[in-house]
Structure 1
Amino acid sequence: MLRPRIIPCLLIRKGGLVKTVRFGESKYVGDPLNAVRIFNEKQVDELMVIDIDATVTGKEPNEKMISDLAAECRMPLCYGGGVKTVDQVERLVTLGVEKIAIGSAAIENPDLIVQAAARVGSQSIVGVVDVKATGLLRRYEVVIRNGRKRTGFEPAAYAQRLENLGVGEIFLNSVDCDGEMKGYDFNLIDRIKKAVKLPVTVLGGAGSINDIKDLVQRYPVIGAAAGSLFVFKGKYKAVLINYPSLDEKEALLPSDQL
């Protein structure tokens, strides 16, 4: 039986590990390679690394950094940031990246998804859906370029579009919940889960193990991603790389999965 995956998400800016709140100013929290080594010891299910500068600044993926991270990882690695061409996708796979997350480029060039899926397989292509409440009515809308550009796309319809283009997974990220550590946006997740048949991984809002428990109890097969939860500890947010133990993970599962 498939089980939920619990996934630390590392944000990279100028080669350093950072954390943001609502996609705003970033706080440096350490060296990403050191974080990967600790996550190796903690036997995490999967790791996601997002270079939050690459797309906005027009830079290509930093292949040296990615190669170093992939060589260190003992778990499946998903990378996103600055990916705009099929050749880049293929090179990342040769570096040891199992999944490539594509966000802004999928809006600006939908054929990239079709071509990349044909080249490396749908299972390696993740469609990113960054969502923010916009306008006077605060309606959900897909945004790109670190939340700075509105697209006009309603999230569920856009997720269906990505599915039809050939992605193998949806990565749903709530801008409004980013770094707030107040829980996931279940209303948003419900819409996406009902719209697609693909695996869905969600990020944004996890502030405690109970938040992850609430998520996986509600959606037994899902990717539960978190950033702040796995790099901060305590009410003063001291930097401490952490991850639930095997026993703690078992305690999160619905009774029919034990």
Structure 2
Amino acid sequence: MLSKRVIPCLDVRNGRLTKGVKFQGNVDIGDPVETAKRYYEEGADEIVFYDITASSEGRGIFLDVVEEVAKQIFIPFSVGGGINSVEDMRAVLRAGAEKVSVNSGAVKNPDIISQGAVQFGSQCVVLGMDVKRVDKSEDIPSGFEVVIHGGRKHMGMDAIEWAKTAEALGAGEICLNSIDADGTKDGYDLELTSLVVEAVSIPVIASGGAGHPQHMVDAVTKGKASAALIASIVHYGEWSVPEIKKFMHDQGVRTRMVW
């Protein structure tokens, strides 16, 4: 069995680390480069960076931050936010990232997934999905809708169908974020996670809602995710990466040990 990954997520706005709840009320909580270095030294398996307002503000990605992070950490990291073309992908990868996460740009132009997979390989292309629970309908039979622009624009698209489409186009991984659970620390949306995992054959990262290491255990067992994204739980010092991994290990989940 493959080890389950623990992946800190750093949301960045105006070059600073920020955190909110359900995509609202974001506050400044520090320097993203220093924080990334700390998580790397603690034993994080990967790190994810999102420029959370790049798409909604219609601007490019924060390449200066990417370049500085690449000098400080030596584990895979992915970058998302404001990536709308193969040229954007190339710029992020040249700046030092191992993966690019496409979200709003891919919804508006799905071909960017296949173009990126051809140019750089599927392993470099991550589909970021921001998903919200809604009433089931003909267009959204699962009751989970794709939302873009940092939770600001509902697309009327079924999240499960979009995940399958993205895989067919060449996405190598999905980072699945529940807007309803984001920042609440009440646990991941296990129903959403398991539905997407069962619909695709590529790795799925559960995201949104981690407040205790048991939530990560649930995400990779009950939710069947390949990895768990974490933010508030480590940003605010409630748990460290080694403590989380040891808890998961003690619960029978295989992780890359760091002590």
Query: TM-score scaled to structure 2, two decimals?
Result: 0.91
Matching of residue 58 in structure 1 with residue 62 in structure 2: no
State the one-letter code of the partner of 2:69.
L
Q: How many residues align?
A: 251
Report the equivalent of 1:24.
24
Q: Is the 8 A contact 2:167 2:202 kept in 1?
A: yes
Matching of residue 243 in structure 1 with residue 247 in structure 2: no
CA, structure 1 residues 221+20, in 2 after alignment: closer, same or farther (shift >3 Å)? closer
What is the root-mean-square deviation of aligned Cα atoms in Å? 2.1
Report the equivalent of 1:84.
84
Q: Is the 8 A contact 1:129 1:173 kept in 2?
A: yes
Aligned-pair distance for 1:91?
Answer: 1.9
Three-state SS of the structure 1 residue aligned to 2:48 is strand
Aligned-pair distance for 1:94?
Answer: 1.6
1:90-139 residue CA offsets vs partner (Å, 9 max, x unmatched) = 12112211110000011111111111111010000001111012359893
Cα distance in structure 1, aligned partners of 2:135 and 2:217: 32
Identity of aligned residues (%): 34
Cα distance in structure 1, aligned partners of 2:215 and 2:166: 27
Report the equivalent of 1:119.
119
Three-state SS of the structure 1 residue aligned to 2:74 is coil
Gaps of 5+ in 2: none
Query: TM-score scaled to structure 1, two decimals?
Result: 0.91
CA, structure 1 residues 187+20, in 2 after alignment: closer, same or farther (shift >3 Å)? same
Identify which of 226, 233, 236 aligns with 1:232.
236
Report the equivalent of 2:205.
201
Q: Is the 8 A contact 2:33 2:65 kept in 1?
A: no
Q: Is the 8 A contact 2:190 2:223 kept in 1?
A: no
1:39-76 residue CA offsets vs partner (Å, 9 max, x unmatched) = 12202100001010111111111211111112211211
State the one-letter code of the partner of 2:204.
V
State the one-letter code of the partner of 2:20.
T
Matching of residue 210 in structure 1 with residue 214 in structure 2: yes
Matching of residue 151 in structure 1 with residue 151 in structure 2: no
Q: Is the 8 A contact 1:101 1:127 kept in 2?
A: yes
Report the equivalent of 2:48.
48
Gaps of 5+ in 1: 235-240
Q: Is the 8 A contact 1:183 1:211 kept in 2?
A: yes
